[in-house]
């Protein structure tokens, strides 16, 4: 269609028009939300902080299976952006009717395919939304998760077993609850010093994943889908939280 000297290019199909309108509405709604919600830089672990935690956990994990699980938990929260509710389980019912609800399973962490990923089922996702978290953002994370899953299966675990579970002899195999997941994340950050450890939470790990993924060059759409945000604008909030003064990023987390 021409308008004077200018040509207006309309979308080729109704489907594309709807898709464009959906993205526009999504961004406007998110932009409104941005006026009331922000994330401070103190809620994002710097790359050097993440590397310090990972180095400390790798060193200690050689002699402690419990620390090794903490390493995996830290990877899931900080390098994959999983929420505490997605990492943990809870019990419902009493006595003989007591059972575990939720909890990431070994089958949900797909480390052997050409497109490695973590599948967050509807039962775990916020608002009942399923999503897929790609594991090709960071090689170190993929390596640690793959090694953990392989060792669990070699020890007799099945695909239906919990990915994160208690390691004590008396209760081995039981899922961890949200309180335990939070305590473990705090323990992971001990190497950062008492002051920093006191202020970080497991949700700061999620903030860190989103911020560093954007800073490393992943598109807003990619990160939105990985994080399970309902709005592109929500994801965009994180785009300014990581500066170039924290070192060049190759494998994002190392």
Asked if the structure places residue 206 within a domain, the reply is: yes
Query: What does the DSSP assignment read for 80-109?
Result: S---HHHH-EEEES-GGG-EEEE--BGGGE
Which structural domain range is residue 189 located in? 40-242
**Domain-located, residue 252:** no
Q: At what angle do helices 202-215 and 220-227 cross, to 10 degrees?
A: 160
Lowest mean pLDDT: which of 41-45, 96-100, 150-154, 243-247? 243-247
The pLDDT of residue 33: 45
Task: Please say if the pLDDT value at position 29 is more than 70.
Answer: no
Other beta carbons within 10 angstroms of residue 57's beta carbon come to: 23
| pLDDT tier for residue 41 given thresholds of 50, 70 and 90 | confident
0.85 surpassed by pTM: no
Pairing of strands 131-134, 99-102: unpaired
CATH number of the domain where residue 55 is located: 1.10.443.10
The 8-class DSSP code of residue 76 comes to I
Position 20 in a domain = no
pLDDT in tens, 62-101: 999 999 999 999 999 999 999 999 998 866 556 655 566 6
Structural domain tally of the chain? Answer: 1
pLDDT at position 85: 92
Question: According to the model, what pLDDT value does residue 137 have?
Answer: 95
Q: In terms of Cα–Cα distance, which of 71, 78, 68, 76 is closest to 45?
A: 78
What pLDDT digit, counting tens, does each position of 196-253 carry? Answer: 999 999 999 999 999 999 999 999 999 999 999 999 999 999 988 886 544 443 567 7
């Amino acid at each position: 269609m021409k308008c004077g000297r200018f040509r207006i290019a309309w979308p080729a199909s109704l489907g594309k028009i709807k898709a464009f309108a959906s993205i526009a509405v999504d961004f406007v709604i998110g932009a409104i939300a941005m006026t009331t919600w922000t994330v401070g830089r103190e809620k994002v672990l710097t790359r050097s902080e993440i590397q310090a935690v990972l180095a400390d956990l790798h060193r200690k994990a050689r002699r402690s299976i419990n620390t090794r699980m903490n390493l995996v938990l830290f990877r899931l929260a900080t390098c994959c952006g999983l929420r505490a509710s997605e990492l943990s389980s809870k019990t419902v019912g009493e006595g003989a009717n007591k059972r575990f609800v939720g909890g990431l399973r070994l089958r949900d962490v797909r480390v052997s395919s050409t497109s490695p990923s973590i599948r967050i089922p509807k039962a775990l996702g916020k608002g009942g939304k399923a999503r897929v978290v790609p594991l090709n953002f960071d090689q170190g994370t993929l390596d640690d998760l793959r090694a953990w899953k392989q060792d669990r299966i070699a020890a007799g675990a099945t695909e239906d077993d919990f990915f994160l579970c208690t390691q004590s002899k008396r209760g081995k195999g039981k899922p961890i609850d949200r309180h335990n997941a939070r305590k473990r994340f705090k323990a992971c950050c001990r190497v950062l010093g008492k002051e920093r450890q006191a202020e970080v939470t497991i949700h700061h790990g999620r903030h860190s994943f989103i911020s560093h993924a954007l800073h490393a060059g992943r598109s807003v759409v990619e990160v939105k889908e990985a994080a399970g945000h309902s709005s592109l604008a929500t994801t965009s909030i994180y785009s300014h939280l990581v500066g170039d003064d924290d070192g060049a990023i190759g494998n994002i987390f190392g």
